[in-house]
Structure 1
């Protein structure tokens, strides 16, 4: 049976139609974060990690992790394509409940396209039935609310009780420029602000985590835009600019027809931001990818970067060839790979650290989470 390893970074994790259209982007100069490939390191604190095997039974099978949220003593997993469910586990990996309300009508969804935790509730996006379903943190259905416009949505995030930000699906615009973010009032569905312009076809590369909320402030990073925005009902402010240098996928490339764009990526060097934005008191984290000679000629390399907000230090760590040996991680929130690809030394040490109790659990087929921290600076 295939055994899957999932990685969670504890450092970041535990801690009706529109009536009007208004665009507001605040003119504050963003902080530039320069990504320097030569500064890439492999520094993790190997003395501070733990394994969290997810309990396996007939109800708790995780087919894929499309999004993972850790909140207090619970782990919430979105599996939108295989289990078509939200699964909840304790922080120790014990299965608690599953939301699998497939169907039409009140309290049902076609499939869970996105999951947001907000104000002691789980909010699930159904773009087919054009609604957001609200459950409490124990999985009990509370109510639902319609998406108040006809255009397609990629994902969403409540700014507060009164306003919600929607990421509009830009793919219908193709190589034309479009505004990805629309902020609506929840009571009257009025658009208060919109913005974050880029080429619509870049939405072909959808990333699970584009919104991040910390201390009441919502941030947004769309793959390929290279700008981290602060979003509120009053405006959209560019906060950080990601400088990837000469091989960044620029406007000219992004305007190519989708197949031509993919052909370019196969044959030419590239670097692009891949979102997966996470923020806590100390760090801002995001993911990016590069290829030295094009995807067809050299293996794509993926990295996770951490910006220390107090010191201004920016470090970049590889998601392959790291402290886990041959395991390929998938960013600041989670990764998927076979347990068997861990080196024997690491396998033996992990089992030893956990009193040998994991040896049987590894055959269940459910993921194992690894919580770890960065090396001390």
Structure 2
């Protein structure tokens, strides 16, 4: 799709939220929206968790780094536990810090060593781990572990040779249907993790030449990249889903690098669309919603896909811009926090 087709055809409505700059965010490591609260994790620069209301007003900053019983040594990942309605922040020291949705400390629970995690009911956690990270504890090499406190209670998804010795990426994705989706590394299948600790396939992303075709071969990083540069593709680990659309990405060659192309699958008409950055933006065609930055979504909120961008003033082609977007951009300076774009897609678009 061209820019014009995406913004005026596939996008049904769009609005923006400027996050308050009362406390500066260095980088958004994770963004989640739950019960009209916006949660931002800055894991590496500010090393804090920021909580905003839906208008971007700052409600709370979690800055509990230290050595005390109610403090974390160093921030890990952040998640909302929808079962207990708690904000959970991982501490690399081996525990989870539990907060209320307004950011008040409640308690902590123990954790097993992991790369990524996702909380479920009864203080249990799904854990994504590296190859051989806990081989002795599980008597096998599994990518997915279920734990409670520091005890492993179940295992699944034994590593394929292709998945050994690779950089782990976050395989967990909570959708707007209340489901937890899981994608094993390089796999073409999106699984749904069910509450009784079983799983089932939900989507299979078919590709003409998939890297997953080599699942039974142990390849080096260079060998995997060479395949991608020679026409193979790979499903990305980040997927998002609401009632009407399923968003996924496909990694493939673009000029001299490998990039992820964002696709939107319309569940009603069973068609996939993607924004083609090589198609020229036709400035002569009027845009009903005005021009705005197209950024890959990082989370969902009800019927909306949500992305983040850094506001930067601009003076060219301002007559083409969305008025709300233009106001945010031209009000920015070097101390302005990121802004969010919310866009709802049109189910009738063909």
State whether TM-score is above 0.5: yes
Measure how far apart 1:343 and its partner are. 8.5
Q: Deviations over 1:88-142 (max 9, x none)?
A: 111111112111221234222233221110122101122x311111011111111
Partner of 1:183: 146
Partner of 1:239: 202
CA RMSD of aligned residues (A): 3.5
The equivalent position to 2:13 in structure 1, one of 48, 57, 77, is 48
Alpha-carbon contact 2:20-2:57 (below 8 Å) kept: yes
Structure 1 residues 371 and 335 mapped into 2: Cα distance closer, same or farther (>3 Å)? closer
Q: Give 5+ residue unaligned stretches, structure 1.
A: 1-36
1:1-377 to 2 correspondences below 5 Å = 42=6, 44-45=9-10, 48-57=13-22, 60-118=23-81, 119-126=84-91, 128-147=92-111, 149=112, 152-161=113-122, 163-170=124-131, 178-184=141-147, 186=148, 189=151, 191-195=153-157, 197-198=159-160, 199-201=162-164, 203-207=166-170, 210-232=172-194, 233-248=196-211, 250-251=213-214, 255-262=218-225, 264=226, 267-291=229-253, 297-309=255-267, 311=268, 313-318=270-275, 320=277, 327=293, 329-333=295-299, 335=307, 339-340=311-312, 344-345=316-317, 349-350=321-322, 352-353=323-324, 356=327, 359-377=330-348
Alpha-carbon contact 1:53-1:361 (below 8 Å) kept: no
Structure 1 residues 281 and 354 mapped into 2: Cα distance closer, same or farther (>3 Å)? closer
Alpha-carbon contact 2:16-2:342 (below 8 Å) kept: yes
**Distance in 1, Cα, partners of 2:103 & 2:67:** 18
**Distance in 1, Cα, partners of 2:52 & 2:331:** 19
Structure 1 residues 343 and 117 mapped into 2: Cα distance closer, same or farther (>3 Å)? farther
**Distance in 2, Cα, partners of 1:305 & 1:266:** 18
**Distance in 1, Cα, partners of 2:228 & 2:44:** 27
Higher relative contact order (Cα pairs below 8 Å, separated by 6+ residues): 1
Structure 1 residues 306 and 346 mapped into 2: Cα distance closer, same or farther (>3 Å)? farther
Measure how far apart 1:308 and its partner are. 3.6
Alpha-carbon contact 2:61-2:103 (below 8 Å) kept: yes
Structure 1 residues 345 and 161 mapped into 2: Cα distance closer, same or farther (>3 Å)? farther
Q: Give 5+ residue unaligned stretches, structure 2.
A: 135-139, 282-289, 300-305
TM-score by length of 1: 0.72
Structure 1 residues 344 and 360 mapped into 2: Cα distance closer, same or farther (>3 Å)? same
